[in-house]
Structure 1
Amino acid sequence: MALHAPSLGSNVLVVRAPRDDDELVRQLTAEKLSIQRIPIMKIVPSEDKIPIQNLVLDFDRYDCAVFISANAARFGLSWLDEYWPMLPMQTKYFAIGEQTAQRLRDYGCGVIVPRVDATTEGLLELPLMRAVEGLNIAIFRGVGGREVLADELKKRGAKVTYIELYKRDIIPAAVERARVAMASAACLIVHSSELLLALGVPPSAIASRLRLVLPSARIGAEAKRLGYQHVTVGSSATPRSLCEATLTALKDAGAY
């Protein structure tokens, strides 16, 4: 199959932070799509390392460790590898998203991950996450972000500690380039609400034409509030799901 409709351009625009090994881009390229990557965010390690060090040194007091993202797993495992050559036996490991889970598996951790709904909400539905009263839970994540997971675990009686490992910095110049590129793209893939909001309110001509692909209904609702008229939500944030959602969006537009 090949992409048609040159008036829309052949580009699928991807704006997330760059990755050394981008499986989504590989799958989209295999479908003969032309990919334009304009990262509007960069991931940088937290500069305040002493608090992280202190929390990691106390890692054996946690009953559960939750890794929010692949970046949380990458940075978190690097810290744990430095101070815990043998991980505590009693700690249970949880991941949001299959890519996050795979990083933990590659490190040798047994990991529990929601299979159907690979989101915070899906994680909270797991039986083990419903029986957390009195447990100490560490959440490995970036600085800031949603509070839904910690708030709900606290309501269920858990003691929650954030281990914040990195920052997500928006790149203003790249945002401007991406907004220009949206005018000729057939489809835009956005992985988070933070990226979506950084792009701002789209011009009406773009909002009425551009196909937007997102990993969750929550972000989809935000996109519609911004004015996007053609929103396709993948079944999860996995590369396969987002690739399939992209193909669906382009077919619906008559552009694939």
Structure 2
Amino acid sequence: MYMAVNELAGKRLLVIRSSRDQDKFLNMSKAAGIDVKHVPIIDINPISNDARVRQKIQLLNEFDYAIFVSVHAGKIALELLDESWPKPPEALRVFTIGRQTAALLRPYISSVRYPESNADTEGLLELPEFQNPKNKNVIIFRGGHGRETLRDELISRGARVEYCDLYQRVVNQQQVEKAWEQLHNIDYLVAHSGELMRAMGPVAKITRFIRDNKFSVIVPSQRVAEIAHQLGYSSIIVSDNALPESMYEALQKGI
């Protein structure tokens, strides 16, 4: 049984992922009376003017499956799709990693598939359409330099896969230092990805900022938990996935 909202009030939370419209996790936390500090440490820099990006958008009808890995990818892609494809190609099947990205895309294409219980790459790969994607042409809309698991696994299953990199994720060192300065005065650090954990750096490097404070790290998967552990974080709470409700539930369990 989870703690009542008033027992969450006053807890101190540091969230470090990039800003997004209508961040449900932040809104839920604030509504519970939690002292939320949001310090985005990775900048999202669109590269939608790149000629290669526009060329791939124009050739969208040559693909069987389109996968959007993030809200940022969906948002940037929609602007380009409106120019080249006011209506999506009829045969195109669209997939997302998470529910929020699916909701963003639905005004453009009504049928969007996503893993409902396991909102990550592994969950997407469990969908029936990806069990035997032999000879399917797949385009993955993403930010550059992410995990290669999705591409590699689809290729191993017989698909032909291309990337369309719509943005770059760049660590903002000034913001990282601002986040470090909060570490002595928080109860929880929320890191939605391994990339965010690595950007924060190893505990040994930031001990002077932590001082004697004891805080827990909330992460969306066992994979990210392992990264946090390798970096020296000892108190780690693992959510079922990165969905806002699941991350909030993990926060409740940890109090």
Q: Does the alignment reach a TM-score above 0.5? A: yes
| 2:175 corresponds to | 174
Query: RMSD value over aligned CA atoms?
Result: 1.7
- Rate the CA distance shift 1:47–1:59 in 2: closer, same or farther, 3 A: closer
| 2:185 corresponds to | 184
Query: What are the within-5 Å matches in structure 2 for residues 94-105 of structure 1?
Result: 94-105=95-106
| 2:3 corresponds to | none
SS at structure 1 position matched to 2:129: helix
- Aligned-partner Cα distance in 1 for 2:213–2:62: 52
CA displacement 1:203-222 (0-9 Å, x = unmatched): 46669821111111110111
- Rate the CA distance shift 1:49–1:186 in 2: closer, same or farther, 3 A: same
CA displacement 1:130-159 (0-9 Å, x = unmatched): 111011000000111110100111111111
Give the aligned residue type for 1:239: P
Query: What are the within-5 Å matches in structure 2 for residues 58-207 of structure 1?
Result: 58-203=59-204
| 1:219 corresponds to | 224
Q: Aligned residue pairs: how many? A: 246
1:228 aligns with 2:233: yes
CA-CA distance at 1:108 after TM superposition: 3.1
| 1:248 corresponds to | 253
Kept in 1: contact 2:88–2:109 (CA 8 A): no
- Rate the CA distance shift 1:229–1:243 in 2: closer, same or farther, 3 A: same
CA-CA distance at 1:104 after TM superposition: 1.6
Q: Which runs of 5+ in 2 are unaligned?
A: 1-5
Kept in 2: contact 1:93–1:109 (CA 8 A): no
Q: Percent of pairs identical after alignment?
A: 36
- Aligned-partner Cα distance in 2 for 1:206–1:234: 27
CA-CA distance at 1:197 after TM superposition: 0.3
SS at structure 1 position matched to 2:228: helix
Kept in 2: contact 1:208–1:230 (CA 8 A): no
| 1:23 corresponds to | 24
Q: Which runs of 5+ in 1 are unaligned?
A: 252-256
CA displacement 1:75-130 (0-9 Å, x = unmatched): 11221111001111101011101111111223333111111211101111111101
